[in-house]
Amino acid sequence: MIRKWIRKQFEKNKFQRIIADMKYHFYCVNNRPFCFYENSYEESNAEYIKRIQPRFYEFIAEQNIKVINNKRATKEKKQFAAISLRNYYSQALETLFALIFATLQAPKCIHAWMRQYKNCELNELIKKVNNSDPIKTRFTKIQNISWESIVNLIFLYYDEKETSSKRTIIENFSRLLSCFAEDYLDESFSNEYNNIKHGLRTKIGGSIVSIRETNRSGKLKEDSDWQNLLESEYGSSFYVDEKLLDSKNHFRIKLHSVNWDPENLYHGIYFICLFLENLLTFLKKFNNIKSDKLLYKSVAPSEVFDSPWKNVSGLGSYTMDLGFNYSQVKLFPKSKIMSVYDLPKDEVG
């Protein structure tokens, strides 16, 4: 009996101690407020930050570019490697911007912010920075939001003695983030990313669009030759939808094609990893997380920061839209649409 009583008291005191140690933290994702509870969110936050490994994306990029540059690799393997590069470039971009805004809005609670954000909120935050619109941030030093002010914050602990001048580094990384933001917000980019990651709903490979001279009646001239208007070995094609007459239930599907260069993607992933490493350096210093040598990283000359967009691939992106008669579209009520499920089995069509 005495042992049971002692055990009960111990469990009771232990539970009370846990309640006493419970902490909470306020933060927001864009404009959505949250209150996060945990015994020691500082420790879990530190552990989460230490587990982030940008080198994963760099490893994927290196493996795939080797296949693409291998003369003995089959065309199929090269195309698989290229679409893999495209997928991980897109994923790395999302990781980059998510961690940037987690840092701005919840630097003491990165893991909680990452668990709650939505893609639409990430897009909205990026647009706000592009337009210099204010966002909610825990750093009062950022008065006018911009990619430059964000990079300035990330390099807060930078020592001028480390490598090159801080001013040059700020300018290079600011330009880099601005270009990355343009990529990420591109509707064609996001449509392709969703089609690749959700069941690989894409046709892998670049596109060729050719033209040929016609006569006045629109018929091809027999003595004319086909000429390539645009051509790319690498890219993808996928379906996109278009709402009709502002209706949520009526739409059409169009084929959209995107051309890109794997070498650009390889360089893009390298710079994403480079900035993520610097972002982690800031977070570790800001949160007093013990780690090995925490140094900022950069590269020179400044021109190499443009390498993710150096090579041009065909037209980039385009939609094939041939002969759709909008005048024949009429809207049906939801009840009419759903009525097909009430038909007898032998009338199903």
Taking only the tens place, the pLDDT of each residue in 204-249 is: 887 665 555 666 666 666 666 655 556 678 888 888 888 998 888 9
User: What's the rounded Cα separation, in Å, for the pair 193 and 205?
Assistant: 15
| Tokens of residue 184, six digits | 């990420």
Q: How confident is the model at residue 18 (pLDDT cuts 50, 70, 90)?
A: very low
Q: CA geometry: angle at 322 spanning 316 and 324, to 5°?
A: 130
pTM for the full predicted model: 0.83
> Helix 262-286 vs helix 41-51: angle between axes, to the nearest 10 degrees?
150
Q: Three-class SS of residue 35? A: strand
Q: Which two tokens stand for residue 323?
A: 């002969």
Structure tokens at 76: 């199929």
What pairing do the DSSP bridges indicate for beta strands 23-29 and 32-38? antiparallel
Single-letter amino acid code for the residue at 93: L
Lowest-pLDDT range of 122-136, 209-223, 289-303: 209-223
- Please check the confidence at residue 106 and state whether its pLDDT lies above 80: yes
How many whole angstroms separate alpha carbon 69 and alpha carbon 83? 14
The winner for highest mean pLDDT among 147-151, 230-234, 249-253 is 147-151
10 or 252, which is more confident?
A: 252
Angle subtended at Cα 95 by Cα 94 and Cα 97, rounded to the nearest 5 degrees: 65
What is the phi/psi pair of residue 254, to 5°?
Answer: -125, 150
Task: Write out the two tokens for 196.
Answer: 């690749």
pLDDT at 15 over 70: no
Contact by Cβ (8 Å): 238, 195:
yes
Pick from 29, 266, 276, 53: nearest CA to 154: 276
Please list, in sequence order, all residues whose beta carbon lies within 8 angstroms of the beta carbon of residue 296, skipping any fewer than 6 positions away. 155, 157, 158, 159, 162, 163, 169, 278, 281
Q: Rounded CA gap, 202 and 236, in Å?
A: 6
Strand partners, 256: 238, 319
Query: Residue 323 — pLDDT band, cuts 50, 70, 90?
Result: confident
Average pLDDT, the chain: 85
Q: Which residue has the tokens 């592009």?
A: 130
Quickly tell me which residue has 């977070």 as its tokens: 283
- List the single range of 127-131, 252-256, 331-335 with lowest mean pLDDT: 252-256
Residue 262 pLDDT greater than 60, yes or no: yes
Sign of CA dihedral 284, 290, 291, 294: positive
Amino acid symbol at 81: A
In the chain, % of residues over pLDDT 90: 52
Q: Distance between CA 339 and CA 349 in Å, rounded?
A: 12
In this predicted structure, which of 9-18, 28-37, 128-137, 176-185 has the lowest mean pLDDT?
9-18
Cis peptide before 107, with omega less than 30 degrees from 0?
A: no
pLDDT at 344: 72
**Mean per-residue pLDDT for 182-187?**
94
Does the pLDDT value for residue 300 go beyond 80?
no
Q: Which of 77-91, 146-160, 292-306 has the lowest mean pLDDT?
A: 292-306
Across 36-56, b (16+ Cβ under 10 Å) vs e yields bebeebeebbbebbeebebee
Q: In the prediction, which pLDDT does 64 show?
A: 97
Of 243, 211, 244, 215, nearest to 230 by C-alpha is 211
Q: Calculate what percentage of the chain has a pLDDT beyond 70.
A: 82
Query: What is the rounded average pLDDT of the residues 277-282?
Result: 96
CA distances from 14 to 3, 6, 7 (A): 16, 12, 10
CA 232 – CA 316 distance, rounded (Å): 9
pLDDT score for 22: 76
Cα 151 to chain center, whole Å? 18
